[in-house]
A = this chain, B = another copy of it.
Amino acid sequence: MNGSRMIGEVRVVGAGLLGASIGLGLRAIGVDVIVHDSSPVNLNLAIDYGAGRPAKDTDIPRLIVVAVPPDVTARVVAAELAAFPNAIVTDVASVKVSVLEELRATGADILRYIGSHPLAGRERGGPISARGDLFIGRPWVVTPHDDIPAAQIGVIEDLVLDLGAIPILMTAEQHDSSVALVSHLPQVVSSLLARRLLGGTESALALSGQGLRDTSRVASSSPELWVQILGANSASVVGLLREYRTDLDALIDALDAPSAPGARRAVAELLAGGNAGVARIPGKHGQDRRFSQIIVMVDDKPGELARLLTEIGDIGVNLEDLRLEHAPGVAIGFAEIAVVPEAEAGLVTELEARGWRIAEVAL
């Protein structure tokens, strides 16, 4: 990137992971960033890390980014709108309708407010975890409302583009119902699954495989943050949870009498619906393309995986995706490699010729 699209100084309020990362990203392209936080410790830490400079009485920021917890976002946005009557204000909270409604209720000058939400990695960490490149390649939803002038939307889009993210325009309502489905519902489903593990025996948990690990991974997220998110988007989330419960009830009924007429068909249709649903998730690079998967056994010692990947590079095949699995209890790993289907057969042949053991080939 050569310089910034944005002109003038940017004020960032809240020096947590997101706020400090925005500051670092903008400073890296020469933007004058003012950083503010109600905690002097956080503020000084963010300044020490290079996320911006302290505020001065003479500051006249054109753009203000509020990056505080969802619970207090509307209050802080309203205060900033009042304190800087010529600035455009955005926020980065993961819920959008409740913030806008609260602002309307307080009589804030909402024609200078445009909400936004970067879908950037994990929401944890504080300024110490901040990175200027946190947003590169990530979707960043921008939610204009009412008759917001296009020029003001453009200011937020410039911010998003300057940070390397992809701006996606939606209404606040569209945003909240979208993230309820692709983010908040998976969080709830995973947390409730993981909660069941509290009742499992040690020997049951010793049989845990990759399926359980994947399904329960996000259950380790912060309850404090998620209480705020789920509370602020409760209407959308509850709607989905009720639909989920209807399916769950149907499944429980069918499994209560698994030999009854229609029971097997009911279970099969619920599972087939899952097949069809998961196929709707866009793949790598936004495409819906399916890749072939090859599983290679790798000894668990330094350099082995690098050797494998170097040889795949020598063979001339590009990895579309890769993950490493470890078998419990032994010093061996499985590298799951995704490649375009046309490359699969040749790659397997070449790898086997070089002595690699292919554990399984599946489409």
Chain A residues engaging chain B, CB cutoff 8 angstroms: 119, 121-122, 124-125, 129, 131, 133-134, 136-139, 141, 166, 168, 170, 174, 177-179, 181-183, 185-201, 203-209, 211-221, 223-224, 226-227, 230-232, 234, 237-238, 240-245, 247-249, 251-252, 255-256, 258-259, 263-264, 267-268, 270-282, 284-286, 295, 297, 300-303, 305-306, 309-310, 312-313, 316-324, 326-332, 357-362
Contacts and interface: CB of A to CB of B under 8 A. Distances in A.
A220 B275 contact: yes
Given A119-B209, A131-B358, 12 more contacts: A121-B359, A133-B357, A178-B204, A183-B212, A186-B193, A189-B190, A214-B215, A216-B281, A217-B278, A227-B264, A234-B256, A286-B329
A156 to B, nearest CB: 17
A334 to B, nearest CB: 8
Contacts of A223: 267-268, 271-272, 275
A327 B136 contact: yes
A244 B196 CA distance: 7
Contact of A248 (B192, B331, B359, B362): B192
A277 B330 contact: no
A277 B134 contact: no
Chain A residues touching B, majority SS: helix
Nearest to A137: B327
B182 A139 contact: no
A36 B28 CA distance: 67
A11 B286 CA distance: 48
Contacts of A310: 303, 306, 310
A278 B243 contact: no
17 contacts: A121-B360, A131-B360, A137-B328, A178-B201, A182-B200, A185-B196, A186-B193, A193-B274, A195-B276, A198-B273, A206-B282, A208-B282, A215-B215, A302-B317, A303-B310, A306-B309, A310-B310
